[in-house]
Structures are given as structure tokens and as C-alpha cells.
Structure 1
């Protein structure tokens, strides 16, 4: 689209959609709220204060199958109703679920800033523009044939004027069903389902091997620190939580179940870390942060720390639950728990 036309088209589009337009659900974006660690987008596309689905996530009844339609399009049954989308989209703007798209080899032309910051996707996103739901003119210039957005985002009606827009509500589907849905959307359902079947089997086998080594009842706790606060996570807030607790079937410490399983995460003061720490600890922290908090008595007195049962993961590379991230974490946990 010629650049001179863009402002005119944008102005017309905004005028047409202005009446009755209200901001969508103002829940936090995938990057998380000001007071919460980035979630899973999703996860975790990271999740902020979006309501976590907890252990009932897999019962969500969101998007269904895609039915063939003429003119190289398919009718995708989204959670908001049928959407006519390209059978094989070539220019995707992923405001959410971009890691799922990348994992299936989809072609992104626009991506959210959090996925762009993730070191697992750096090479795969070279030349891809960083956009948000507010960058309407920039998105128009990218000429997308498909936009993937979150139900909490603003400007959904305006995005739909630019290109077919499919909306997902974080947590409505579990992490495996979400990948299959992205597969349906991209015309790659078989590939997505094949990965799910294979990964589920491999993760379960790894979980059995880990429990055989550390004990059936040994507990694992996932902490995160940003050098100011500590967080503890439930079973669906990225950082490998879906993998550890759902896929591998490892046990969660009782106090973590009580405080973090429902909301997804729980903020802790350093003084109570030992009360939430399991026999083993997975610690998520930024590779760019300093180590000062790791030298405090509050941390060094945690039994798992004393016993050298801590597995560290990089927060920036662990805040999603897509295939690329899960395969990366599966390898880390194999080495951390099994030494291989």
C-alpha cells in the first residue's frame, strides 16, 4: 500500500468504527501488569492479570475446526464466531501467540515486543516489525492477511477493518489445545497435533524417570525473582510450570497449592521463601539481573539451596508455553534432574 494512502485509509477506518466503539477487556496484556510477573501468553505470551484458568484450563470450549470455503480461504470457527481467513496466511501480525506461530513455521510480519525480546526467537524474527494493537497505521503498512489478537486488547474492531482478525482469550484453552488451534488457523493442524502427541509422550516418560530418581512424593517449586520481589507459580503460568506439573506430573508443595494454584502466581517476601520451597526449586531470573538477592540469608537458608537442588532458567526465554519454549525447558529439566 502506498504510504500516501495510509493516513487517508486510517482516518476513514477510524471514523467508520468510532461510533459505539469501546475498549475491549482491559485485563493486562501478555506482558503482565505493573504488579505481576509476565505470564504465559501464554503463556504464557506472558499474561499479567488475565484470569488464570488453573487446573480447569483444559475444559475451555474455544475455537473449533476450519471448514473449506472458496477463493483460497477457510472459515475458522473462533471463540467469537466464524472468521473467513486465508487458507495459508503469508503475512501474519501476531499481537499474541506469536511463539505458537513461529513454532509452526508461520510467516510473521509483525510481532509483540515481548516475543521480540525472547532470545529463543531472535534469529527467527529478524526483520519482523514490533507492533501493538495501538499501532494501527504501522499494521496497515505491513499489509497483513491475518491478525492474531487477545480478547483483552483495545482496537479489535479497528484491527478487523485491516485484515481478518482472530481473537483468543488467554487461559480458555490449555497450552496443548492452544497449539492445535493455531495449527487449525494456519492450515497446519496435523503438524500441531503430531507435536502434541509426541511431546506429551516424551514429557510423561521424562517425568517418570525424574520421579524414579527423586522420589514419587518429592516436591518442586517454581520461584521467580526480579531482584525486588519473589513470586511462586501454580501449574499454568509458563516458566515450565505446565511441563513440570501437568505433563510430567511432578508434585507441588502444599502451601504453593493453597496460595498460587488458583490465581496462577503469588507474590512473596524473601523472609517466607522457605515456607513455599519444595524439595527441589526451579528459579526463573533474568540473565541481565545482578546476583545480590541470591546472596541474602533469606535465599541461602532455603533447604533446596543448601542441598544444591536448584535449577535456574532464564526468565526472558521461559515466559511462554509454545513448542519451542517447552522443548528448550524439557532439555534443561532433563539435565537438571537427571544429569543427562
Structure 2
């Protein structure tokens, strides 16, 4: 009997040890499972391994692309007052890290990112020591290319397709409304500057991109030939030659402290100004190149252009 009891106790002890070992193995396996699954993405700077489903993302400038895909970054570059991004930015969830070209490495490290998306090419090597860092050449990509790439980086491919489809629907509807309002014939210019010189924008940035690239509005011949056809962002000109670039309607980017253009007879004699066909575009609203901002920009440009066409 005693021998039998000893055997039972020994067997129970062996089973208990086996159970402990099994539990230990299970914990080890679970810990291994917590390591993010990685995949390789092709970038303009070479292949980069990134998490398939990143959880803590930092984004420079193209912030609204992340928001448009349903991702709230844990850190971003500064959000300008008056921009569309103010609608979605929540300082309790997202840290404003300041200007994109001046991010502090310690502040970045403190956020424990698992993916960093930058427009500052120099930041790739510096921030790449903290987490996988991808350069986004936003100025070289179309909206579709940029948002599709963002979807790949964030593991949000389906969301990217839907967001692009929704944007294209908004653009198409807005284009039709503008054509019906007379913009099949009216030309549009986008200016930014003051009394000394004026920047004439093409289709590669900001409101110029919205007007010419997205909404397919007509540019004056000088803008088409000297800026758009030459793939330039913009050109700076003196007021003396401004009439050459002035369309039937002018969209002027406005900002605090800008010059009063009514002091210039050249400006006040432009047909667009004489005919009250001036649209003032808040600088911050037109500053960002991202899908969330672009939808708001399309809405603003469409509505304001229709008003002045009447």
C-alpha cells in the first residue's frame, strides 16, 4: 500500500512538472507571437522592412493620408492653425513634434514608434536607428500613387482603395458642377505673394494641384507653357508681367501680414479683380498635400469658384 502511494505521488509530481513546462512553453510561444510580422516594401531609397500592421506610427506632412485611412498617428509634424487637419488632430492621442525638419530624436524615441514616415530624406538615416523609417517622395507621386503607397505601409490597402474612390467621386462631381458654372471656358490662376513679386503656382503643389491636376481647370497660356508643361512647382514674377499669368479668375493664397494688393494699379486693373472674380484661399487650408486635406480643398475651391462665376 505504502509503495503504491509513493508511486502515485511520484506520478503526480511528474505530471505537475510537465504541466509547468508546458505552461512555460506556452508563455514563450505567446511572447514570440507578440513580435510584429514584417514585410519588405520598395521605396525610392531602397527596400525597407516594416511591420505588416504597425501600431505606433509617426508621420511628417502627409498626415491626412493616415487619417483618411483610419489611422491615428502617435506623433506628427506641426498642424497649422486653420488647416483641415485641425478637425481630426487630438493632442490627447497624438503628439505634435514640431516642424518636420526639426524633430528631436529623444522626443521621437519616447513615443516608441514601430514605423516612421518622413518627407525629410535626411531623417531616414537618423530616425531609422529608432524604428523602420520610410521616405515619402510626395512631390514626385500622384495622389493615387501616394495614397496607395501609404496603404501598403500602414497595412490598409482596402481602406486606401475606398478612400481614393470616394475622393475621385468628389472630384468628378465637383468638376461637373464647375463646368456647368462656366469653367469649361474660364481660366484660373493661383497666386501667392505681394507687391514686390508674386509666385505663380503650377499643378504640382497645394491649390494649383487641386485646380489643374484634380479638377482639370484651364490655366492661362503662360502658366500652361512656362510652368505646367515644364513640370515646375511655380515661378516668381514681378508685378509688371503679372497680367500675362492672370486668368479670368484668380485664387490668391492669403496669410497674416500679407501685402495689400489694392495699392498696386497693376493688380486693381487685372480683369479678374475688376470683375470681382477673386477667391481668397486661407494659406493653412491649402498648405497640406494629403487626401483628408484635399477633400476639404476641393470643396472650398468648388464652392468659392462657383460663387464668383455668377
TM more than 0.5: yes
Structure with the greater alpha carbon radius of gyration: 2
RMSD across aligned C-alpha pairs, in angstroms? 2.4
Is residue 285 from structure 1 mapped to residue 250 from structure 2 by the alignment? no
* 2:224 equivalent in structure 1: 257
Structure 1 segments (4+ residues) deviating >6 Å: none
Q: Deviations over 1:88-139 (max 9, x none)?
A: 32222213422322332323222223x4556322351424131445521221
Structure holding more helix per residue: 2
Q: Deviations over 1:129-168 (max 9, x none)?
A: 3144552122112211111123x53242231110011112
Q: Deviations over 1:34-66 (max 9, x none)?
A: xxxxxxxxxxxxxxxxxxxxxxxxxxxxxxxxx
Where 2:205 maps in the other structure, the secondary structure is coil
Higher relative contact order (CA 8 A, sep 6+): 1
For residues 208-287 of structure 1, the aligned pairs below 5 Å read 208-225=176-193, 229-239=197-207, 241-261=208-228, 262-286=231-255
| Alignment partners' CA distance in 1, 2:103 and 2:302 | 41
8 Å contact kept, 2:52–2:155: yes
8 Å contact kept, 2:183–2:218: no
- Once structures 1 and 2 are overlaid, which stretch shifts more, 179-188 or 211-220? 211-220
C-alpha deviation, 1:244, in angstroms: 1.7
* 1:108 equivalent in structure 2: 73
8 Å contact kept, 1:285–1:313: yes
Where 2:139 maps in the other structure, the secondary structure is coil
Q: Deviations over 1:203-242 (max 9, x none)?
A: 1232233223215232111111256532111111112x22
| Alignment partners' CA distance in 2, 1:299 and 1:255 | 17
C-alpha deviation, 1:253, in angstroms: 0.5
Length-normalised TM-score, structure 1: 0.71
Where 1:163 maps in the other structure, the secondary structure is coil
Counterpart selection for 1:90 from 55, 61, 71: 55
C-alpha deviation, 1:194, in angstroms: 1.4
Unaligned runs of 5+ residues in structure 2 are: 1-34
Is residue 142 from structure 1 mapped to residue 111 from structure 2 by the alignment? yes
For residues 76-225 of structure 1, the aligned pairs below 5 Å read 76-113=41-78, 115-117=79-81, 119-123=83-87, 124-127=89-92, 128-131=95-98, 132=101, 134-150=103-119, 152-225=120-193
Unaligned runs of 5+ residues in structure 1 are: 1-69
* 2:30 equivalent in structure 1: none
